[in-house]
Amino acid sequence: MSVKCIEKVCSIVKQCKGVCSIVKELDDSDRKKILKLEIAEENKLVQFGASIENQGVKDVLSRDVVLLVVNDPNFEYRDPTIVLKANEEVVGEVISDPAKLNEMKGKPGYLITGKGFVIYTHKLRNKKGSL
């Protein structure tokens, strides 16, 4: 990607709500260090009897250009920001839409934890033993 194109993208990103600054463009060395740290953390974590993989970090690090952006709590993440999968099926995710959360609240098959993380217990039951 050209320097001019990256500068234009940075200019647009800096205008986004909640973006404090763009620190730098990550080089190959930065990417390798981050990937190494991520894999080390994944190897420590086991949940529901399965390993945890942060596919989002790996997807980002494989892009042509990766920018290190500092944001504050006003930054609006694309929904969902966290997804829990069993094999390839989504069995949990962050839901930021209050109306959608309200719909699920108290219904069988939905467990709402923390700040809008929903576990689809009905899907987990179907995946028992395959996680």
Q: pLDDT tens, 26-78?
A: 999 999 999 999 888 877 766 555 566 778 888 999 999 999 999 998 888 77
Q: What pLDDT score does 51 carry?
A: 62
> What is the total residue count of the chain?
131
DSSP string across the chain: --HHHHHHHHHHHHTSTTEEEEEEE--HHHHHHHHHHHHHHHHH-EETTEE---HHHHHHHTSS--EEEEE-TT--PPSPS-EEEETTEEEEEE---HHHHHHHTT-TTEEEETTTEEEEHHHHHHHTT--
Is the overall model pTM greater than 0.75, yes or no? no
* pLDDT score of 44: 74
Q: Do 119 and 92 touch, CB atoms closer than 8 A?
A: yes
Query: For residue 105, is pLDDT > 60?
Result: yes
Answer with the residue of higher pLDDT: 117 or 129: 117
pLDDT value of position 88: 76
Domain ranges in the chain? 1-75, 77-131
- Scanning the structure block, which residue is given the tokens 């205008």? 15
